[in-house]
């Protein structure tokens, strides 16, 4: 098994872990967004969706632990790569200029990542690890978004998530070797479109909750 | 009619490896716009020498864009601001009278500064020694076309083989990664039938050497592709990733 450890601990192996875990989160984001958007059909539909999800029982618990494991790998590997990359140029340039490859998304990956991590902790304490007896999830979420500061915070963080995936999606495909001259322009466009969908989709939810509640 | 321009240079001066360096200011006057960047530095060095001062050390060999020996970062751009151009092939007509140019050496942990703008790029040679070759027993030359190669494959291999090993990809990468260089070298050999037998061992060994020499990790910033004087494409990095995965997970090589 030595070869397996060696392959994953190489620079490309670490990137591969970032890419695969990142792509799983992108899948999660799609499902999560679709689920949350049920609220546009009304609070009861949203509650019914949540109830259905939780009635899954054990499989849901397994999925949650898988997500947690993926997050641990993504965060630890990401922070370690960031540290190594800073160390790879101990003496910085006096003048830094972009030659046209870097984007706002690509240049901010570690920072947007840390913001997402902090958000996740707050988000889970807000809506997951709360006492749900005698109330509904729709009630909990609507109450939270009565506070304009919470609405603003959630919406801003969703823009940060959009920035992270605007680079993340195409970058992950490049990392797993899926670069083809015919498809790359489509992949780049899809990354941008996905980022906009995530930004607007999730960003609109807190505002929607605060309006209908 | 030959035009001349005057420039202010801020050049990195460093006496030797490991010692402290600093940016010093020089004036380059009456520079013909027909000159190359290196010829401009020659003119500055001539006046420094006449004044009894130490000339600026910089690297070069062919001065025609094919050897990969020259290179410096000019105002934050490796090999200067022109696309697909080495420093020796960069002409002064691309600059304007009164420009201030900050000239720094290629910077990376793996590239030690030898003196001023000269850096030690032998880590790239170490990567080549780790697998950037094919092993064949010498003998009678094989028949031409004994091993057929499709035209498109030959073109891809030739495009990758255009890499001159200058190190600008490392210098321009925000992470000081050498993935474009290694991607070009692995692609160039692995695409061709002669390079196939050793493909798995080559990919593992070149990546392993790259990692131990202290280069950074690729995060697909694409600055290398934009700065490479030979315009090597990052599709070569994707191919390196594929070759590495094939070798790591599915081959017998270790
Ligand atoms: C919803 C949550 C998240 C999603 C969808 C996501 C997605 C992605 C994707 C797809 C990549 C690209 C992988 C590659 O380039 O091969 C990536 C890279 C990265 N992520 Fe995340 N991520 C998330 C959360 C986080 C968190 C919480 C952190 C950490 C603090 C983080 C830090 C990073 C870093 C530093 C990179 C760049 C790694 C590199 O290329 O060197 N991400 N992410
Ligand atoms: S890939 Fe381009 S920038 Fe990098 S060493 Fe080769 S020629 Fe220079
Ligand atoms: S001196 Fe040979 S490439 Fe510039």
Per DSSP, helices labelled H in chain B are 37-50, 122-129, 151-161, 168-172, 179-190, 199-212, 223-227, 235-245
Residue whose CA is closest, atom 17 of ligand 1?
A168
Q: What is the pLDDT of residue B1?
A: 60
Domain that includes residue B161, residue range: 121-136+146-250
Look at residue B226 and tell me if it is in a domain: yes
User: Does the distance separating the beta carbons of A101 and B176 come in below 8 Å?
Assistant: no
Instruction: State if residue B69 touches ligand 3 by the CB under 6 angstroms criterion.
Output: yes
- Asked whether the beta carbons of residue A85 and residue B219 sit closer than 8 angstroms, the reply is yes
CB contact under 8 A, A7 and B248: yes
Q: Are B33 and B5 in contact (CB under 8 A)?
A: yes
Q: Is residue B172 part of a domain?
A: yes
Task: Write the pLDDT tens digit of every residue in A29-82.
Answer: 999 999 999 998 888 999 999 999 989 889 999 999 999 999 999 999 999 999
- Of all atoms in ligand 1, which is nearest to the CA of residue A176? 16
Which burial class, exposed, middle or buried, applies to B208 when counting CB atoms under 10 A from its CB (0-12, 13-18, 19+)? middle
Helices and strands of chain A, counted as H and E runs: 9, 0
Q: Indicate whether B237 and B125 sit together in one domain.
A: yes
Q: Do both B126 and B190 map to the same domain? A: yes
pLDDT at A8: 94
- Residue B2 confidence class, pLDDT cut points 50, 70, 90: confident
A16 min Cα distance to partner chain B (Å) = 9
User: For residue B141, is it within any domain?
Assistant: no
Nearest alpha carbon to residue B43 among B61, B28, B57:
B28
> Above 90 in pLDDT, residue B95?
yes
Put simply, the answer to whether B223 touches A178 (Cβ < 8 Å) is no
Q: Are residues B64 and B169 in the same domain?
A: no
Instruction: Look at residues B250, B82, B45, B218 and name the one whose alpha carbon lies nearest to residue A15.
Output: B218
Which tokens hold the place of A88? 């790879």
Q: Which of A105-109, B111-115, B137-141, B159-163 is predicted least confidently?
A: B137-141
Establish if B17 touches chain A: CB-CB under 8 angstroms.
no
Mutant choice from A7, A23, A88 vs B, greatest count of B C-beta within 10 A: A88
Ligand nearest to the CA of B38: 3
Query: How far apart are alpha carbons B195 and B186 in whole angstroms?
Result: 9
**Does residue A82 line the site of ligand 1, with CB under 6 A?**
yes
- B128 and B236 fall within a common domain: yes
Per-residue confidence (pLDDT) for residue B254, from 0 to 100? 75
**In a structure prediction context, what are the per-residue pLDDT tens digits for chain A, which is 213 residues long?**
688 999 999 999 999 999 999 999 999 999 999 999 999 888 899 999 999 998 988 999 999 999 999 999 999 999 999 999 999 999 999 999 998 999 999 999 999 999 999 999 999 998 888 888 888 899 899 889 999 999 999 999 999 999 999 999 999 999 999 988 888 899 999 999 999 999 999 999 999 888 876
The predicted structure's pLDDT at residue A96: 94
Interchain proximity B248–A171, CB inside 8 Å: no
Looking at the fold, whether B79 and B193 belong to one and the same domain comes out as no
* CB of B196 shorter than 6 A to ligand 3: no
Provide the pLDDT for residue A106.
96
Burial class (CB in 10 A: 0-12, 13-18, 19+), A114: middle
What does residue B111 show for φ and ψ, rounded to 5 degrees? -105, 100
Q: What is the pLDDT of residue A213?
A: 65
- The secondary structure of chain B in percent helix, strand, coil, rounded to multiples of 5, reads 40, 15, 45
**Co-location of B76 and B129 in the same domain:** no
Q: Is A62 in the B-facing interface, judged by CB distances under 8 Å?
A: no
Pairing of strands B4-13, B22-32: antiparallel
Asked if B125 and B245 sit in the same domain, the reply is: yes
Q: How far is the CA of B41 from the centre of ligand 3 (A)?
A: 14
* CB of A172 closer than 8 Å to CB of A77: no
CATH of the domain at B48: 3.10.20.30
CATH class of the region A12-91+101-212: mainly alpha
Question: What is the distance in angstroms between the Cα of B221 and the nearest Cα belonging to chain A?
Answer: 5
Q: Do both B243 and B126 map to the same domain?
A: yes
Angle at B250 between CA B248 and CA B254, to 5 degrees: 45
Alpha helix stretches (DSSP H) within A108-147: 109-127, 137-144
As a whole number of angstroms, the distance between CA A187 and CA A170 comes to 6
Does A174 contact B at CB distance below 8 Å?
Answer: yes
Residues B20 and B58 occupy one common structural domain: yes
Q: Is A7 on the interface with B (CB under 8 A)?
A: yes
Domain assignment present for B44: yes
- Is the distance from the beta carbon of residue B230 to the nearest atom of ligand 2 less than 6 Å? yes
Mean pLDDT for all residues in chain B: 96
Domain residue spans of chain A:
12-91+101-212
Count how many domains chain B has.
Answer: 2
């Amino acid at each position: 098994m030595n070869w397996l450890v060696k392959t994953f601990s190489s620079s490309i192996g670490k990137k591969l872990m970032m890419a695969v875990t990142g792509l799983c989160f992108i899948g999660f984001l799609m499902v999560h967004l679709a689920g949350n958007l049920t609220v546009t059909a009304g609070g009861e539909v949203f509650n019914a969706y949540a109830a259905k999800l939780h009635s899954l029982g054990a499989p849901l618990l397994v999925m949650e632990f898988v997500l947690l494991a993926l997050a641990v790998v993504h965060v630890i590997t990401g922070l370690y790569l960031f540290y190594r990359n800073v160390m790879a140029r101990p003496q910085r340039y006096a003048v830094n200029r972009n030659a046209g490859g870097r984007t706002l998304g690509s240049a901010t990956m570690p920072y947007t990542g840390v913001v997402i991590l902090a958000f996740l902790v707050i988000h889970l304490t807000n809506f997951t690890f709360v006492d749900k007896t005698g109330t509904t999830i729709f009630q909990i979420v609507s109450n939270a978004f009565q506070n304009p500061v919470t609405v603003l915070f959630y919406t801003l963080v969703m823009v940060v998530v959009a920035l992270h995936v605007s680079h993340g999606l195409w970058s992950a495909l490049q990392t797993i070797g899926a670069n083809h001259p015919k498809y790359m322009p489509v992949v780049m466009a899809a990354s941008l479109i996905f980022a906009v969908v995530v930004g607007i989709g999730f960003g609109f939810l807190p505002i929607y909750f605060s309006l209908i509640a | 009619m030959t035009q001349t321009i005057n420039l202010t240079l801020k050049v990195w001066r460093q006496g030797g490896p490991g010692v402290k360096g600093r940016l010093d200011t020089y004036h380059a006057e009456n520079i013909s716009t027909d000159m190359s960047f290196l010829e401009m530095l020659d003119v500055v060095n001539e006046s420094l020498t006449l004044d009894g001062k130490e000339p600026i050390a910089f690297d070069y060999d062919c001065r025609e864009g094919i050897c990969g020996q020259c290179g410096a970062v000019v105002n934050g751009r490796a090999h200067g601001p022109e696309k697909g151009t080495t420093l020796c092939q960069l002409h002064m007509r691309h600059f304007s009278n009164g420009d201030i140019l900050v000239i720094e050496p290629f910077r990376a942990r793996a590239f030690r500064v030898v003196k001023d703008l000269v850096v030690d790029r032998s880590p790239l040679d170490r990567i080549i020694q780790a697998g950037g070759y094919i092993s064949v027993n010498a003998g009678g030359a094989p028949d031409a076309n004994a091993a057929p190669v499709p035209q498109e494959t030959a073109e891809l291999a030739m495009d990758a083989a255009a890499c001159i090993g200058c190190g600008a990809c490392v210098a321009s990468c925000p992470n000081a990664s050498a993935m474009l260089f290694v991607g070009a070298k692995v692609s160039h050999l692995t695409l061709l039938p002669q390079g196939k037998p050793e493909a798995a061992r080559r990919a593992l060994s070149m990546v392993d050497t790259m990692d131990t020499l202290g280069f950074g990790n690729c995060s697909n910033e694409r600055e290398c592709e934009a700065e490479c004087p030979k315009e090597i494409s990052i599709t070569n990095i994707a191919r390196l990733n594929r070759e590495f995965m094939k070798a790591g997970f599915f081959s017998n090589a270790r």
